């Protein structure tokens, strides 16, 4: 009888432990099916094409034709005089049916704002725009970061547009700030996209290559020139991977269009999501549940001991 009681106690302990763990989403790490993403980065030149006309519908057509799931956009106007006061981020989101995040690097610019934007078919859980510190006076630059919810995981998607002058010093100074900005999301797979205004032989590219992987170097064919669109002579637009563990680049392309002075860069990437890490509330819940679970076997054991002693006395 006592042996049966002990076995029953063990069974109950295992049952409650399994039940508690099943209630905690962060405790299990199931295999997650890879997701195929089509990623684009595009400097849209405030929607001004080679014909000198501002045509946002033309830009939207380029975006739609790419079938991109996530898009990094640079030189985006919002309510400025030169583009007729239109809200480009909101209008592009409407025209493509995507979610949008906008980061203004210039305020009070022709009556509106100017900066970068991210379009995503996936939910945008959060986003932040950081205005980079500058080594000298010039156009304010920034880094727009968005946390996207993909499958059961998250992806950090980053859009930036660095200094365009011939002196690389400002771009290199911007790069020194990246590590601190991205550290806010340590552990998340990340894609860093944008117009870096520097070529593959540059010091900037060498520095970035120490921590990131240039997607064109994996699957790009040809020179990958994106600037300018009429007769491209430079590769200055990039899609960088945080590592090869979570990404496999299937192919890359530079579609031809005269909608901007840049050409868009498109990549199809197989993304293997990382299991969703437990949030602080989930971790707190885990501690509470495990504390309660630890009390169950103690209580059962105490009951068995007390019952056993009573049985002996009765004998």
Note whether residue 257 is domain-resident.
yes
| pTM summary value | 0.80
- The residue with tokens 């970035």 is 208
Which pLDDT score, from 0 to 100, does residue 10 have? 47
Note whether residue 207 is domain-resident.
yes
The mean predicted confidence, pLDDT, of the chain is 87
Distance of alpha carbon 34 from alpha carbon 194, whole angstroms: 24
Tokens of 103: 């980061």
Sign of CA dihedral 189, 36, 260, 118: negative
Q: Phi, psi at residue 254, to the nearest 5°?
A: -120, 90
Which pLDDT score, from 0 to 100, does residue 315 have? 54
Q: Phi, psi at residue 312, to the nearest 5°?
A: -65, -40
Model confidence pLDDT, tens digit, residues 78-122: 999 999 999 999 999 999 999 999 999 999 999 999 999 999 999
Q: Are strands 247-253 and 190-195 parallel, antiparallel or unpaired?
A: unpaired
Number of domains the chain is built from = 2
Identify the segments of the chain with pLDDT beneath 50: 1, 3-4, 10, 12-14, 19, 25-29
Task: Please tell me whether residues 284 and 142 are part of one structural domain.
Answer: no
Note whether residue 3 is domain-resident.
no
Task: Please tell me whether residues 96 and 216 are part of one structural domain.
Answer: yes
Note whether residue 155 is domain-resident.
yes
Task: Please tell me whether residues 211 and 296 are part of one structural domain.
Answer: no
Note whether residue 10 is domain-resident.
no
Give rounded-to-5 percent helix, strand, coil for the chain.
35, 30, 35
Task: Please tell me whether residues 222 and 292 are part of one structural domain.
Answer: no
Note whether residue 19 is domain-resident.
no
Model confidence pLDDT, tens digit, residues 259-305: 999 999 999 999 998 765 555 555 556 566 556 656 655 555 566 56
The enclosing domain of 159 has a CATH number of 3.60.10.10
Which pLDDT score, from 0 to 100, does residue 244 have? 87
Which pLDDT score, from 0 to 100, does residue 121 have? 98
Task: Please tell me whether residues 134 and 152 are part of one structural domain.
Answer: yes
Note whether residue 30 is domain-resident.
no
Distance of alpha carbon 300 from alpha carbon 315, whole angstroms: 22
Task: Please tell me whether residues 294 and 151 are part of one structural domain.
Answer: no
Which pLDDT score, from 0 to 100, does residue 274 have? 73
Note whether residue 15 is domain-resident.
no
CB atoms within 10 A of CB 3: 7
Task: Please tell me whether residues 301 and 216 are part of one structural domain.
Answer: no
What's the per-residue H, E or C state across 66-119?
HCCCEEEEEEEEECCHHHCCCEHHHHHHHHHCCEEEEEEEEEEECCEEEEEEEE
Task: Please tell me whether residues 215 and 291 are part of one structural domain.
Answer: no
Per the structure, the complete domain to which residue 177 belongs is given by: 35-271
Which pLDDT score, from 0 to 100, does residue 31 have? 60
Task: Please tell me whether residues 313 and 186 are part of one structural domain.
Answer: no
């Amino acid at each position: 009888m006592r042996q049966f009681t002990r076995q029953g106690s063990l069974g109950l302990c295992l049952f409650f432990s399994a039940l508690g763990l099943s209630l905690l989403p962060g405790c299990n790490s199931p295999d997650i099916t890879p997701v195929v993403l089509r990623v684009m980065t595009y400097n849209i030149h405030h929607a001004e094409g080679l014909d000198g006309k501002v045509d946002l519908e033309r830009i939207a057509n380029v975006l739609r034709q790419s079938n991109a799931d996530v898009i990094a956009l640079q030189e985006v106007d919002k309510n400025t005089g030169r583009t007729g006061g239109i809200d480009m981020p909101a209008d592009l989101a409407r025209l493509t049916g995507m979610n949008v995040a906008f980061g203004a690097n210039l305020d009070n610019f022709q009556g509106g704002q100017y900066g970068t934007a991210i379009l995503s078919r996936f939910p945008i859980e959060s986003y932040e725009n950081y205005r980079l510190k500058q080594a000298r006076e010039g156009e304010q630059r920034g880094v727009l970061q968005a946390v996207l919810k993909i499958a059961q995981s998250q992806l950090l998607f980053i859009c930036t547009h660095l200094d365009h002058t011939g002196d690389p010093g400002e771009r290199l100074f911007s790069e020194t700030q990246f590590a601190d900005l991205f550290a806010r999301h340590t552990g998340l797979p990340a894609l860093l996209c944008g117009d870096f205004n520097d070529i593959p032989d540059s010091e900037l590219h060498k520095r970035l290559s120490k921590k990131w992987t240039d997607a064109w170097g994996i699957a790009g064919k040809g020179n990958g020139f994106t600037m300018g669109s009429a007769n491209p002579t430079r590769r200055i637009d990039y899609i960088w991977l945080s590592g090869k563990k979570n990404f496999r680049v299937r192919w890359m392309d530079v579609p031809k269009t005269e909608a901007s002075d840049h050409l868009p860069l498109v990549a199809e990437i197989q993304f293997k999501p990382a299991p969703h890490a437990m949030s602080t509330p989930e971790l707190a819940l885990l501690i509470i549940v495990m504390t309660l679970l630890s009390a169950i076997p103690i209580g059962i054991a105490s009951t068995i001991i007390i019952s056993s002693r009573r049985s002996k006395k009765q004998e």
